[in-house]
């Protein structure tokens, strides 16, 4: 069977390794492809801030000024193992050779956006002003999006091509995310001779954890302890425990409340046993919620309807560049490209979804 243009591009793209912070070769290829199509292409100094080897890629194509500009985005990096990816096309499905990820997260998005722009340019299709942001280091904390220069964009709305689910999947809500790191310091003592002189940091931490609400809190809130670290000889009452936890919620108030509940549990336990507590909290990203009647979602619905793709609007439990775009005043949703089983070696995408993603990107660019 003959390979479509977008499939060929995708297969080339995934063979250019771009693990987080090492996106340079791939960023240059994509920038070059866009430049050849006549777009104004720029980069920035996000490399330094993210400790990566290249910056974000921006591209701009002027269009009919009576239509609102739209920002198209996807991320350049992949998770490991992402070197020497050997894509295999089999029965309409693309997968890796089994020892790496495929990289459809997020090169399905990038290939689709580049393909749609190619068709717009080569076939002179009337189109809206098009802006592109291909970000670095999304997988290691949305770093490229955090260091993006938002003043370069005219667009007040963006579509991030970066989700599982068939084309037609629209993610209009994502949780905010906070991280808590805490160190409990008790007092060391000989465990056999004078344990009463010590304060066991493990006992204190365990007491705190039993009073924490964790895991599924409610429909839109979760909390988890990922690190509970203490190590020492059995004959010494342990002096230190280090804990790290995260909280997520679609509701900003619940996010704060849940974070507070965890800290309060730590404080109470430390007070009870007279241990010392040091902690930090950090907001990784804020939640967002785009109403279902928002013009951006209506536009997506119209485009999907014209192409015959069933639409499903849903929330997600994970963060993406859209969280950062929304926090920077660009109304954004994430859409499904058909990537599946991401972040593992069984990752795959169907050729049909790949082609449909490009069709949807084109439909969104066209004036209508
Ligand atoms: Zn992704």
Chain-centroid distance of CA 299 in Å reads 23
- The CA 99 to ligand 1 mean position distance, Å, reads 19
What single-letter DSSP state applies at residue 19? B
**Annotated catalytic residue, options 23, 33, 77, 105:** 77
pLDDT of residue 2: 79
Q: What three-state secondary structure class fits 245?
A: strand
Q: How does the average pLDDT of the chain come out, rounded?
A: 97
What is the rounded end-to-end Cα distance, in angstroms, of the chain?
33
Whether a cis peptide bond, with omega within 30° of 0, leads into 144 is no
> What's the 263 CA to ligand 1 centre distance in angstroms?
31
* pLDDT, tens digit, 9 for 90 and up, residues 184-211: 999 999 999 999 999 999 999 999 999 9
Answer whether residue 1 shows pLDDT above 80: no
Is 138 considered catalytic here? yes
Tell me the mean pLDDT in the region 220-242: 97
Cα-to-centroid distance, 119 and ligand 1 (Å): 25
Q: Under CATH, what is the fold of the domain 5-174+288-365?
A: Aminopeptidase (3.40.630)
Q: How far is the CA of 227 from the centre of ligand 1 (A)?
A: 25
Q: How confident is the model at residue 317 (pLDDT cuts 50, 70, 90)?
A: confident
Q: 130-135 and 57-61 as β-strands: parallel, antiparallel, unpaired?
A: antiparallel
**220 is known as an active-site residue:** no
Q: How far is the CA of 363 from the centre of ligand 1 (A)?
A: 22
Q: If you measure from the C-alpha of residue 228 to the centroid of ligand 1, how many angstroms do you get, rounded to a whole number?
A: 29
DSSP 113: H
| CA–CA separation, 304 and 292 (whole Å) | 15
Distance 299 CA to ligand 1 centre (A): 23
CATH class label, 176-285: alpha beta
- Which part of the chain is CATH 3.40.630.10? 5-174+288-365
Compute the distance from residue 357 Cα to the ligand 1 centre, in Å: 15
Q: Residue range 215-232: average pLDDT?
A: 96
Tell me what pLDDT residue 129 has: 98
Q: Which residues face 120 on adjacent strands? A: none
Using the predicted structure, report yes or no on whether residue 288 has a pLDDT greater than 90. yes
Residues 39, 44, 48: CA angle, nearest 5 degrees: 150
CA of 307 to the centre of ligand 1 (A): 24
Average pLDDT on 243-267 reads: 97
Tokens representing 207?
């007491």
Mean pLDDT of 4-32: 98
Global model pTM greater than 0.85: yes
State how far the Cα of 265 lies from the Cα of 261, in Å rounded to an integer.
6
What is the Cα–Cα distance from 197 to 47, expressed in whole angstroms? 51
Distance from the CA of 343 to the center of ligand 1, in angstroms?
A: 9
Distance 105 CA to ligand 1 centre (A): 5
Looking at 106, 131, 138, 207, which residue is catalytic?
Answer: 138
**Ligand 1 mean position, distance from CA 71 (Å):** 17
CB of 46 within 8 A of CB of 133?
A: no
Mean pLDDT over 141-168 rounds to 97
What band does 368 get if pLDDT is binned at 50, 70 and 90?
confident
Using the mean position of ligand 1's atoms as its centre, give its distance from the Cα of residue 258 in Å: 27
Work out the burial of residue 188: count CB atoms within 10 Å of its CB; fewer than 13 is exposed, 13-18 middle, 19 or more buried: middle
Assign 264 a pLDDT band (cuts: 50, 70, 90).
Answer: very high
pLDDT tens digits, 320-357: 999 999 999 999 999 999 999 999 999 999 999 999 99
pLDDT at 270: 98
Q: Where in the chain do CATH 3.30.70.360 domains reside?
A: 176-285
> Can you tell me which residue has the tokens 């619940």?
254
- 3-class DSSP assignment, residue 50: helix
Half-sphere exposure of 262 (CA within 13 A, CB side): 26
């Amino acid at each position: 069977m003959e390979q479509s243009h977008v499939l060929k591009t995708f297969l080339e793209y995934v063979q250019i390794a771009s693990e987080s912070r090492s996106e340079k070769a791939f960023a240059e290829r994509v920038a070059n492809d866009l430049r050849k199509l006549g777009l104004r292409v720029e980069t920035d100094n996000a490399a330094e801030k993210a400790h990566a080897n290249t910056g974000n890629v921006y591209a701009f194509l002027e269009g009919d000024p009576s239509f609102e500009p739209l920002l198209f985005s996807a991320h350049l990096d992949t998770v490991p193992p992402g070197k020497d990816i050997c894509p295999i096309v089999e029965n309409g499905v693309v997968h890796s050779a089994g020892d790496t990820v495929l990289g459809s997260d997020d090169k399905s998005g990038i290939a689709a956006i580049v393909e749609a722009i190619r068709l717009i340019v080569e076939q002179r299709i009337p189109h809206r002003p098009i802006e592109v942001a291909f970000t670095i280091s999304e997988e290691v904390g949305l770093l490229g999006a955090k260091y993006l220069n938002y003043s370069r964009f005219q667009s007040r709305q963006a579509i991030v091509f970066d989700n599982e689910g068939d084309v037609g999947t629209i993610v209009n809500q994502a949780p905010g995310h906070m991280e808590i790191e805490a160190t409990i310091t008790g007092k060391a003592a000989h465990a056999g001779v004078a344990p009463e002189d010590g304060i066991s940091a493990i006992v204190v931490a365990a007491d705190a954890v039993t009073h924490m609400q964790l895991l599924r809190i409610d429909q839109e809130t979760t909390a988890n302890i990922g690190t509970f670290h203490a190590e020492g000889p059995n004959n010494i009452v342990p002096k230190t425990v280090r804990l790290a936890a995260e909280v997520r919620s679609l509701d900003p108030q619940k996010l704060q409340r849940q974070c507070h509940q965890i800290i309060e549990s730590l404080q109470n336990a430390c007070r009870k046993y007279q241990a010392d507590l040091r902690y930090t909290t950090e907001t990784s990203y804020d939640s967002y919620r785009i109403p279902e009647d928002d013009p951006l979602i209506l536009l997506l619905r119209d485009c999907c309807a014209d192409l015959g793709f069933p639409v499903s609007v849903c929330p997600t439990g994970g963060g993406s560049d859209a969280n950062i775009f929304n926090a920077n005043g660009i109304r954004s949703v994430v859409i499904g490209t058909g990537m599946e089983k991401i972040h593992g070696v069984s990752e795959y995408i169907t050729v049909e979804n790949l082609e449909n993603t490009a069709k949807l990107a084109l439909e969104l660019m066209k004036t209508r």
